[in-house]
Structure 1
C-alpha cells in the first residue's frame, strides 16, 4: 500500500510498502470493482452508499478523438431532469471510491457522471505499481482531458433525465486541478469544487514537468467562467501553502469574489479519501457540506 501525499502520486522517497494482501475487488463490467489497491489503507472503513432509489449504470460515448469514453453514472430514479455533476477522479480512475462519490451526489439529487480519462492506455485502478499508474496518468494530456469533459457535457445535454443547462464539476487530487482548468474553459459550467488539486508547478519541477502541467490554475484566474471552491489541507506536502496563497491572490486580482479557498488545519493531502490512511473525518465532512451548499446555490438554483 502506498501512502499518497501528492496529487500525481508519490516521489521516490514517499513510498511506504505493506505486506498486507489486497483482495478488494475483481474485474467486472467496464470498471475495476474494488478500491485502488495502491492506496487502500489496511484499516480502512470506507463510506458505502447504496443504490436504493437510484439508477446506476456504466455507459460510453464518443470523445472528440472518436474514442468510446467509458463513464459511470448515478442519478435519482424518475424522469428528472436532474442537475448534472461531473466527477473527476484521482490518479486511480473510476474505482469504488469515485463511484461512491457519484452515488452520494445522486442521493443529493444530481445526475453524477464520472468519465474514465485514463483507459485509452490502461485502467490504473487495479494496479499496485505506482510507477505504472503514473505512466498511465501522464499520457492523459490537457487537450485530451478537456476533450473528454466536453464529450461528457455533450452527452449529458442529450439525456432527457439531465439538465444540460445546470452543471457542476468536482474532482479529487489530479481531478482537483482538472476542475480549475475546466471552469476556465467551459462556459456551460455553473460551479466547480476542487479537492486539493495542484495549483502551480512544484518548486523543484523540471522544465518538462512545468510544461506538461500547463495551464496551471494559478494562471487561469482571469479565465474562470464560474465560481470555484477549493478545498485544501494545511499539511499537504505536495501542495505548499505558498501556492494556495498565490491562487487566492490571483483570484482577488481577477475579481473572482464568488470563488473561495478553504484550508483545513492539520489536514494532509487526500483528507476526503475514506479508503486511505490520509482520511480526516472532520475535514472531509465539512468539505462535503460545503460542496453541497456551493452546488445548491449555483447548480440547482
Structure 2
C-alpha cells in the first residue's frame, strides 16, 4: 500500500504526495515514475516516502468514470487528513523534519499541509486547485514549479501567488528556530517553465528534448529547495 524508497538518513524526510487525476499516471512508461523521482530524493540524502493515498484506485484516463465521480471518493481533503495521519506516524518513529512535494492533485494536499506545522518546507509541481487564499495562509517555505501552458494554474494566477507571498509574513517560530517572535516573510520561489504543459515533470515524450530538460531542471529545483530548508533543521 505504501511503496517507499529509502536512504540511510533517519533525520530528514521528503514526503512525496502521490498524484493522478487529470493526465498523469504514477507508473507510466512514458516519462518519470514515482519510483524514479523518489530515488532522486533518496540519493540527495533523504528518506523518501510515496504513500498510496488512492488506495490502489487511481484515476484512469479515458475510463468510463469521470474525474468528478472519481473525486467524490478521492478528494484532496481526504488526502490532507491521510497525510497528517501519515506524517504523525513518521514523527513517532523519530523523524523530526518533514518536507512535502506535491504533483497535480498532490499540490493541493501539500499546500494544505503548508498551512500547518506538519512540514518544514514544501514544493508544488504543476499543482491543481490551489487558490490565492491557500497561498495567503502558507506558513512554511514554499516553492511552486509551474508550466506556462496550464489552464488550471496559469501564469496570471502564479503572478498573484507571487505578489501575495511577497507581502505575507508569519512569526519566526512558525518555521524557524524559536529564538524570538520576529515577524518574517515566508520564503518562496516561483518558477514558470516555458513551452511545457501541466504534468510535464512526470509525463512527457522522451523524444521531446525541451520537455525532458525542463523536467530534469524542475526535479533539481525541488531537491535544492528541500535541501535548503530541511537539512538545516
TM-score (norm 1): 0.62
Matched, 1:188 2:118: yes
Q: Which residue of 1 aligns with 2:49?
A: 113
Q: Which residue of 2 aligns with 1:263?
A: 192
Q: Which residue of 2 aligns with 1:10?
A: none
Contact 1:180–1:217 (8 Å) recurs in 2? no
Q: Aligned partners of 1:237, 1:101: CA distance in 2, in Å?
A: 25
Highest Rg: 1 or 2? 1
Per-residue CA shift, 1:167-200, capped at 9, x if unaligned?
100011111222212111x31311101001135x
Q: Which residue of 1 aligns with 2:223?
A: 292
1:53-202 equivalence runs, <5 A: 70-76=1-7, 78=8, 80-91=9-20, 95=27, 97-119=33-55, 123-124=57-58, 127-132=60-65, 134=67, 135-159=69-93, 164-184=95-115, 186-198=116-128
SS at match of 1:187: coil
Which has the larger share of helix?
2
Q: Displacement, 1:133? A: 6.3
RMSD of aligned Cα (Å) = 2.5
Contact 1:75–1:109 (8 Å) recurs in 2? no
The alignment covers a number of residue pairs equal to 207
Q: Displacement, 1:95? A: 3.4
Q: Aligned partners of 1:252, 1:172: CA distance in 2, in Å?
A: 23
Q: Aligned partners of 1:130, 1:232: CA distance in 2, in Å?
A: 27
- Extract unaligned runs of 5+ from structure 2: 170-184
Contact 1:251–1:259 (8 Å) recurs in 2? yes
SS at match of 1:284: helix
